[in-house]
Amino acid sequence: MRAAARGAVYAAVTGRMGGRCQCRTGDPGACGKAHAVTGRDCCGRGGARRALVVVPVDPAVPDHIAAVLPAERLIALCPACWDRRRNAALAADAGTAQPELFPAPTTEGTDES
25 to each of 10, 30, 33, 40, 60, how far by Cα in Å? 22, 6, 7, 5, 18
Helix (H) or strand (E) holding 101, with range, is none
Q: Is 81 in the site for Zn ion (CB under 5 A)?
A: yes
- Which one of residues 10, 14, 29, 31 is an interface residue with Zn ion (CB under 5 A)? 31
Helix (H) or strand (E) holding 108, with range, is none
Q: Sign of the C-alpha dihedral, residues 13, 18, 20, 23?
A: negative
User: How many amino acids of this chain bind Zn ion (CB under 5 A)?
Assistant: 7
- Which one of residues 9, 42, 71, 75 is an interface residue with Zn ion (CB under 5 A)? 42
Q: Is 13 in the site for Zn ion (CB under 5 A)?
A: no
We find the least distance from the C-beta atom of residue 42 to Zn ion, in angstroms, to be 3
Cβ-proximal residues to 85 (8 Å cutoff; 6+ apart), any chain: 23, 29, 30, 31, 32, 55, 59, 77
Cβ nearer to Zn ion, comparing 6 with 50:
50
Query: Of 49-68, which residues contact Zn ion (CB under 5 A)?
Result: none
Cβ nearer to Zn ion, comparing 90 with 107:
90
Q: Which residues here bind Zn ion, judged by CB under 5 A?
A: 21, 23, 31, 42, 44, 78, 81
